[in-house]
Amino acid sequence: MKKLAQAVFAVLFCAVLGLSFAVFNIFSKQLSMDSHENRLMTGLPQVLQSPLSELPRNLDNFFVDNSPFRYQFVLLDAGLDYRLFGTSQSDQVLPGKDGWLFYKDGPTAAQPMANYQGLTAVNDSPETLAKASAALQILHDDLAENGCQLVLDLTPSKDRIYREYMPAGYPIVNEQNRTDLMVEYLRLHTTVPVVWQYETLRSQARLYPERLLYYKTDTHWNELGALIGLDGVLEALGLPTLAPEEYTVTSDGTTTGDMANVAALYAVLPEEVRYTVPGYETLFPRDERVVRVIGDSFSEAYMPYLEDRFASCWREHIDTFDPAIAEAPACDILILEFNERSLDTMLRILENFHPE
């Protein structure tokens, strides 16, 4: 009887599994969901072309990635974890208070939680700071000789801007973090305009809590936060700006935050409101200079404002940085932008300009 029961169970299991594939494929248009995962899913060609040693793993990944009702179960599981335990299924997403999500330590990040807390272990040594400032000055001077003005824009992450929504398990140990110390040193030891809009953004976040500057479920600032960040650059260039609270913002649709996507919480947490600043293109006289931006994804958000302010501008990702730009900048103004999670990237780039 025991063997019969086991056989019946095995048959039922296979039948249910097979039926789920049939039902899902018959009603695929109604049941399929868009993938919000930031990775390539395993396809059948990848399995068929696998070396024998990798076949079991790729076959398992294929069934996991293409199983019926996969997204529905992933969403259900992630939603239950978040609602019941306040946890995330992604090791890069840290749930905060009131629906806020924050970027946790990831494989390529400069320890954002340690930096948020101000832990001294992540601070740069005096030798590193000295080398970085000397290299930055060389880059500035080389660009100036070729008719280009350099501005270094270090953009704040949202964790300290909206620290009141961080989980209690991550207390701030030191108010001055790695970025604060880097900015202070570069300002003292170079003639380069170093923009760090932390104080302004933090002040605005506290004074106008309903006027959000960063997305709650995304790693980035929104259109208003980007404008306030850019104003620091414009002021460094001697150009007029408005006080942050004087900008009028209106809704311009909605978007889904990248961390909500990664943690499969896009069905649990509400979509984010996108902003626009109506009439911004008429607020200030147009500058005839050419601006080149080399930065990470934070600078992408302020490009529309630069397009309204300058005769010509374009943006390249920081990963494409070529040291030869110092000799042929092809612009009047070069904005080098790094989010504070990318300070290590900045240090690697500056190594190209160390004095001989």
Q: Could you report the per-residue pLDDT of 154-168, keeping only the tens digit for each?
A: 999 999 999 999 999
pLDDT reported for residue 29: 42
Compute the distance between CA of residue 246 and CA of residue 231 in angstroms, rounded to an integer: 13
| Distance, CA of 245 to chain centre | 25
The pLDDT score that the predictor gives to residue 170 is 93
Q: Where does the pLDDT of residue 5 fall: very low under 50, low under 70, confident under 90, or very high at 90 and above? A: low
pLDDT of residue 40: 58
Residue 79 reports pLDDT greater than 90: no
Phi and psi angles of residue 144, each rounded to the nearest 5 degrees, phi first:
-60, -40
Highest mean pLDDT among 4-13, 77-86, 169-178 belongs to 169-178
Mean pLDDT of all residues in 191-200: 98
pLDDT score for 81: 73
Whole-prediction pTM value?
0.82
If phi > 0 it is left, if psi is from -120 to 50 it is alpha, else beta; for residue 206 that is alpha
pLDDT of residue 37: 52
Share of the chain above pLDDT 70, in %: 79
Please determine, for residue 309, whether its predicted confidence score (pLDDT) is greater than 90: yes
Kindly report the average pLDDT of the chain as a whole number.
87
Instruction: Give the integer Cα–Cα distance in Å for 99 and 259.
Output: 12
Name which residue leads in pLDDT, 10 or 342: 342
**36 vs 45, 109, 259, CA distance in Å?**
22, 21, 10
Position 234, amino acid: L
Rounded-to-integer distance, Cα 2 and Cα 253, Å? 60
Task: State the Cα–Cα distance between residues 263 and 240, nearest whole angstrom.
Answer: 41
Supply the pLDDT for residue 18.
53
pLDDT at 188 > cutoff 50:
yes
Residue pair 133/187 in contact by the 8 Å Cβ criterion: no
Residue 318 dihedral angles phi and psi, to the nearest 5°: -60, -25
Half-sphere exposure of residue 69, counting CA atoms within 13 Å on the CB side? 12
Which of 72-81, 190-199, 261-270, 309-318 is the least confident region?
A: 72-81
Closest to 337 (Cα-Cα) out of 315, 311, 304: 315
Q: For 33-70, how does the pLDDT look when each residue is reduced to its tens digit (9 = 90+)?
A: 455 555 555 565 765 677 777 767 765 555 555 555 56
Instruction: Provide the pLDDT confidence category of residue 27 given band limits of 50, 70 and 90.
Output: very low
| Count of beta carbons in the 10 Å neighbourhood of residue 133 | 20
| pLDDT for the residue 115 | 95
Query: In one letter, which amino acid is 108?
Result: T
